[in-house]
Structure 1
Amino acid sequence: MIDSVHRVRAALVAASVLLAGCGAGTAGKPGPGAGGEPAQAPAAAASRAAAPGHTPAAPRTTPSGRLPGLGPEALAAIPSRTRQAVVVTGRGRNSSRSTVVLYERTEAGWRAGPSRPARNALKGWTDHHRAGDLRSPTGVFTLTDAGGLLPDPGTRLPYDRSSAFTSPGTGFEGESLAGSFDYVVAIDYNRRPGTTPLDWTRPLGAGRGGGIWLHVDHGGPTHGCVALREDDLVELMRTLDPALHPVVVMGDAAFLAR
C-alpha cells in the first residue's frame, strides 16, 4: 500500500515538473516575501557544476546587524531570532545566475561562509511571483523542511526521503534533469512550513506558484528554484540548524539593496 502511494505521488510530481518545473505543484505555506512580516516558524556535483571559478573564501565577520548588499527593507524582514541567513544574490533582474552565501549571527556580528555559484529562474526575479512566469520570487523566507530521492545526507532539518522526488525530462538548455531532486530544501514561499517539501498546500492560491526549493544544479536555469552544485548543497544542508531559525534572503542585487 505504501509503495502504491509513493508511486502515485511520484507520478503527480513528475507531471507537475513537466508543466512548471522545480517543485511546482507541491507547494504549501508562504514565507514573508517582500513587504511582509517574516513567517515564524556526493560526488555527482562535478557533472552538474553551476559555474566555473568557484573559490571558497575564508570566513569573515561583518559588523553586528549588517549583512553585505542588504538594505533596510531586507534587514528589517529578517526575524530577530534568526541566526542563519542564506543570502542568494542574483547578477541582475533578468539573469539566471546568482551567488549564495551562508551567514551565521555571532556575538561579534554576522560571520560569512564561502561564496558559492548558483542558478535561479530562466527569466530572473520577480517581486510578485506567478505560476509559470519563469522567475524566482524575491523576499525573505524561512527554511524549515528538507527531503530528497537519496538518503538523508546529515541535515538537522526534518527530512522526507521519497521516490516522489523525481525530475524527468530535460531543462532549457537540453540538459538532463535527472538527480535535480536528490536533495532539496523547501523555501517557505506559498507553502505550509513544517511539512514535507512535497506538500501541495498553497495558501496564496495555485496562481501564485509554489514548490520553490533549493535543489541540485542540473546545468541550466530553473523554473523558479535556486540550484547549487551537489556538494555545496549537501554542505549547506548539514549546516542549517532549526534551532537557529534559518531563512533565505533572495533576489537580484538591486532588490536586496532597498
Structure 2
Amino acid sequence: MINPVHRVPLAIAAASFLLAGCGAGTQTDRLSTGGPSPHQDAVTLDPASAASPDAPPRELPGLGPRTRAAVPARSRQAVVVTGRGKDSPQSTVVLYERTVAGWQAAGLSLPAHNALKGWSDHHHGGDLRSPIGVFTLTDAGGLRPDPGTRLPYDRSQGFVSPGTGFEGESLSGSFDYVVAINYNRRSGTSPLDWTRPMGADRGGGIWLHVDHGGPTHGCVSLREDDLKHLMRALDPGRHPVVVMGDAASLAR
C-alpha cells in the first residue's frame, strides 16, 4: 500500500489489493475531518418527509438496539448498506441525514455488491466476506480527479484494479473513485495506507468503490454515478459513518 508521504511501486500496491481483498471488521475508528470543497453539492431532504412536531424522533430503519448503539452520537450522516442475506453478495445502499426530527433518507435506495460469500462478524483476510459493523468515513481517493467530495482526496496511480472479477468481468475502473471504510486502518490517511492496527490477518483495504458488475473481495461497490453523488454528499463536519451488514445482523 502507499501512505501519504511514501509511495511503493505500483505493481506492489496492485498485488496487495489482490491478496488482501477488501478487508473486514467490527471496530469504529475516530473521525478526523477535512476541509470543504468549494464545489460540493448540498444534500436536500424532502420537506414532505419531515415528521410532525409531536412525532417521536425517527430511528435509522432496519437497525436493532445493538447496531443503533454503535452509531456515534455526533454522527449526522449514515450510509446504510443492507445485505440481501448473510451469504449473499447483493445489497442496497441508502444515505440518511440526522435532523431535528430524527434520521431521514437523503436519497434513493441504490443497488450495490458486497463480498462474494456475504458477511462476517469477524472478518479475516481472504475469507471473501464483508465486515459487519459501524465504521467512520474520513478519507477518499481514486485514479481519476476529485469528483467534488469534501473528504480529503488522494489522486494516485496506485488505485489500479487489474484482472477480472469472480464472474469474468473486467475490474478496470473499479478504483477510479473510492471512499475508505475505517475497518482495520488508520483514519486521516490515504485509502492506500497499509497500516493495519489489528494485524494483517484481519484484512484491510475495505472501500466503497465503483461497481464492476459482480461480487467483491470484501468492499461495497456502487454504480459510478451513484458513488460520485454519494461522495459529493458526504460532509466530514457531519461525521459520516457506514452501517453495513446483512439485514438480519443489522436488526440485532
Asked if residue 69 in structure 1 is aligned to residue 62 in structure 2, the reply is: yes
Instruction: Map 1:22-171 onto structure 2 (within 5 A).
Output: 22=22, 33=26, 38-41=28-31, 60-61=49-50, 64-112=57-105, 113-171=107-165
Give the distance between the partners of 1:179 and 1:186, measured in 2 at CA. Answer: 16
**Once the two structures are aligned, what percentage of the paired residues are identical?**
74
For residues 254 and 13 of structure 1, the distance between their equivalents in structure 2, rounded to whole angstroms, comes to 35
In structure 1, C-alpha distance between the alignment counterparts of 2:108 and 2:161, rounded to whole Å: 28
Letter in 1 for 2:64: G
Structure 2: distance between partners of 1:16 and 1:167: 11
Distance 2:217 2:137 in 1: 19
| CA deviation profile, 1:59-98 (whole Å, cap 9, x unmatched) | 8457525111001011100010000000000000000000
Aligned counterparts of 2:16 and 2:242: Cα–Cα separation in 1: 24
Contact 2:30 2:187 in 1 (8 A): no
Specify the SS of the correspondent of 1:11: helix
Q: SS of 2:74's equivalent?
A: coil
User: Could you state the TM-score of these two structures normalised by the residue count of structure 1?
Assistant: 0.84
Q: Which runs of 5+ in 2 are unaligned?
A: 1-5, 32-45
Report if aligned partners of 1:61, 1:109 keep a CA contact under 8 Å in 2.
no
- Equivalent-residue separation in structure 2 for 1:122 and 1:13 (angstroms): 22
Residues 208-227 of structure 1 correspond to what in structure 2 (within 5 A)?
208-227=202-221
Deviation at 1:150, TM superposition (A): 0.1
Unpaired stretches in structure 1, ≥5 consecutive residues = 25-29, 42-57
Offset at residue 21 of structure 1 (A) = 3.1
Query: In 2, Cα distance between the equivalents of 1:72 and 1:183?
Result: 33
Matched residues, number: 228
Which amino acid is the alignment partner of residue 254 of structure 1? A
**TM-score, with normalisation over the residues of structure 2?**
0.86
Superposition RMSD in Å: 1.9
Q: What's the secondary structure of 1:232's corresponding residue?
A: helix
Q: 2:71–2:134: 8 Å Cα contact kept in structure 1?
A: yes
Alpha-carbon deviation of 1:13?
1.7
One-letter amino acid matched to 1:217: D
